[in-house]
Structure 1
Amino acid sequence: MALITLAVSGYRSLRSLVLPLERLNVVTGANGSGKSSLYRSLRLLADVAQGQAIASLAAEGGLRSTMWAGGSGYSVAMRSGRSPMQGNIGAGPVSLRLGFASEDYGYAIDLGLPIPGPGASREDVSLFGHDPVVKAEAVWVGERLSRHNAIARRSNASVLVQDRNGRLRPVVTDLAPFESMMMRAADPTDAVELLLLRERMRAWRFYDHFRIDRDAPARSPRIGTRTVALASDGADLAPAIQTVREIGNGPAFDEAIEDAFAGSSVEIGAADGLFRLSMRQRGLLRPLDASELSDGTLRYIALATALHTPRPPELMVLNEPEGSLHPSLLEPLARMIASASERSQVIVVSHAKSLVDALSHHGAQMLALEKENGETIVGNVEPPAWTWPDR
């Protein structure tokens, strides 16, 4: 099911952002407008389903380093420039909130910092006291959380799930503060909706760092096994292409290569279980080995492989896919992305005007990010209604 709303609050420049999503979306804006923050917040949301959200926040320097650095609220006079910006940084509880609504279910999580109990001694304070904890979580039916449509929610150490009679009853009572109910309570008997939602989130795919340098794994022979989803760094490129050809739409992949590189074709050879990629080009007497391909050519082949996956995910996110590509490749890339959006919901983060314009021509929704007093806003769309779960 496609996402229809994405909500982020308290993450870097994203003080309070609620976005409508379509089948094909382009997030664009000037450098520093918040594109990378929006991309990272989406990855954090996916990390919740993997049980990796806290580790990912730690890798960014901890919750405090990622939180909104502006004031808790600005007056009209401050926003217009008639009065200087002032206020208390971090006033109120520390909170990073992430959520989405899809065509059937919605999910939201609120992360904060642990609060030592009254009278706690120095010895009682955990050395992990800077790790974020889960303050609130909820799963609901429909576009927006309300008092009547929650089917699962967190209450301290308990997870309450709706039973057959429509009542919320506890299915877990010993949930640790650092654990998400998506990890502990999702099961096919008591909480099948949580299990379904978690598996869908785990299947989201993110591509932002294909290795195309001289020592990239894709340039060398690799042990090949059937690969239905290209790795995020493109390391298993050769077996992934062969998988597309054997159980996916190989002709469409070949047409995409021809569309970008007229008269060219990608070849996959195998010897002793090692798969090797090469490319035959018009006018050359032999195919070029992957080690000889330009960075842009290798990246384009990786993008074509990801976009022609034989197992399309519900959501695919591409972060600045135009990197290293010649401008002449951006229109063919846009055609590939538009075609892929018929099978998966796609979000593209890009500041390449040619690619943005081409995707707009293919019907993509434009989400133009801007900065207003340090805060990322989207002025060209109307934010959907949204409600966060109470702590």
Structure 2
Amino acid sequence: MITRLAIEGYRSIRSLVVDLAPLTVVTGANGSGKSSLYRALRLLADCGDGRIVGSLAELGGLDAVRWAGPERGTRRGQPTEGTVRSGPVSLRLGVATDELGYAIDLGLPVALQSAFDRDPEIKQEHVFAGADPRPAGVLVERRRGLARTRTDAGWVDLAAGLHPWASVLDELAGHQEAAELAGARRMLRGWRLHDALRTDLTAPARQPQVATRASRLDDDGANLAAVLQTAVELGWDRELSRAIEDAFPGSALHLPVVDGRMTVALAQPGMLRPLTAPELSDGTLQYLLLTAAMLSAEKPSLIVLNEPERSLHADLLPALAERIRSAAASTQVIVVTHHPRLAEELGGLRIELEKQSGETVVAGREGPLDQPGWHWPSR
């Protein structure tokens, strides 16, 4: 379970450290920074897949996403004033579990004469034991092109001349001297983030798909029917039936297969035939997609849902909350929502974000010293 998340220098987040629980609900007004926190988690997941540099380039490079305010925080209630930067541009992301953590520091490239000028450089990476990357707990460190690991006999070099766009999690994950790298990569690759589940008229989930077992929901929800059928054949038919009954009393889910292709349909009281996928409302389809994410055969270490209440009628929120709470019994779940009723229904640990002088902070904190400890390694 992820116990601590740290973000520095990203969009409206100058410096934020939060502790997480098995079920964490992130709330706040529009513009408070909820989406920034979600996107930072997505970037961390990209680290596990070796896509962090490319993902930032697609967003416009580091200049497009970095903290735009002053280097030092302002006092509460004072307006933000522009200042000339004295320190290096830096985007830092980190997570910690009870056993292992990972932190990355990205900056602007030294050589700007390149066609790939939107690519940031990986300045540092650290894999560590404990709640944050203190020097004593660092197991593997990478500083620019040099990577080394701590052994009983002291530090041992793993590689030199690493490319500034290549992560040690990708390049050295199989190194026999640093098994912790494989553990950190496995942790990040075990996350599932959902915020782009399409429900429009041309959504992939409305189209027949090849009937083949599916252990996890695709990012666009295309394999919805296959994920639900896989769950049924693995013995979770009662959980699925309960999810349908809670949301649509008296209804029954159908997963017809025609010519090797399958889709979803919903039989409802008073209807002479089941409604097919193209006929389902956006809210109904959204609920089925989220149910599939919670019931997938592959149980991720972390599920992150960004505004799952989208398109849902208020009457469906209790059923959705029940699905999320049930999933949180075996999988850590983070829900980012601006809907107060869903937040109340979910319970769990509540983190409310707000803006102070343009900076995203946790509501109720008195200042930087009132947040969990985190020690970023100096460059």
The residue aligned with 2:77 is 80
Q: Shift of residue 272 of structure 1?
A: 2.3
Query: 1:378 aligned to 351, 362, 365, which one?
Result: 362
| Whole-angstrom distance in 1 between the partners of 2:262 and 2:150 | 50
TM-score by length of 2: 0.95
CA-atom RMSD in angstroms: 1.6
Q: Which amino acid aligns with 1:15?
A: R
Identical columns (%)? 45
| Whole-angstrom distance in 1 between the partners of 2:277 and 2:85 | 50
| Whole-angstrom distance in 2 between the partners of 1:308 and 1:55 | 31
The residue aligned with 1:275 is 262
The total of aligned residue pairs comes to 375
Unaligned runs of 5+ in 1: 117-123
Structure 2 counterpart SS, 1:80: coil
- Sort the Cα spacing of 1:279 and 1:47 in 2 relative to 1 into closer, same or farther, 3 A: same
- Sort the Cα spacing of 1:97 and 1:248 in 2 relative to 1 into closer, same or farther, 3 A: farther
Q: Which amino acid aligns with 1:111?
A: L
The residue aligned with 1:62 is 61
1:127 aligns with 2:126: no
Structure 1 counterpart SS, 2:156: strand
- Sort the Cα spacing of 1:346 and 1:75 in 2 relative to 1 into closer, same or farther, 3 A: closer
| Whole-angstrom distance in 1 between the partners of 2:86 and 2:240 | 53
Query: 1:190 aligned to 146, 158, 177, which one?
Result: 177
The residue aligned with 1:285 is 272
- Aligned pairs (5 A) from 1:2-81: 2-76=1-75, 79-81=76-78
* Residues 305-334 of structure 1: CA deviation (Å, up to 9, x unaligned): 111112210100000000100100001111
1:112 aligns with 2:111: no
Unaligned runs of 5+ in 2: none
TM-score by length of 1: 0.92
CA contact (8 A) 1:257 1:304 kept: no
Structure 2 counterpart SS, 1:148: helix
1:95 aligns with 2:94: no
| Whole-angstrom distance in 2 between the partners of 1:85 and 1:289 | 54
Q: Which runs of 4+ in 1 moved over 4 A?
A: none
CA contact (8 A) 1:110 1:136 kept: yes
The residue aligned with 1:120 is none
* Residues 140-183 of structure 1: CA deviation (Å, up to 9, x unaligned): 111122222211001331211233x2522112223111111111
The residue aligned with 2:282 is 295
CA contact (8 A) 2:4 2:18 kept: yes
| Whole-angstrom distance in 1 between the partners of 2:197 and 2:372 | 34
Structure 2 counterpart SS, 1:226: coil
CA contact (8 A) 1:15 1:376 kept: yes
Query: 1:148 aligned to 108, 131, 136, which one?
Result: 136
* Residues 218-260 of structure 1: CA deviation (Å, up to 9, x unaligned): 1121112110101121111011110111125221111111111
- Sort the Cα spacing of 1:223 and 1:157 in 2 relative to 1 into closer, same or farther, 3 A: same
| Whole-angstrom distance in 1 between the partners of 2:344 and 2:287 | 19
Q: Which amino acid aligns with 2:125?
A: E
CA contact (8 A) 2:134 2:376 kept: no
Q: Shift of residue 270 of structure 1?
A: 1.2
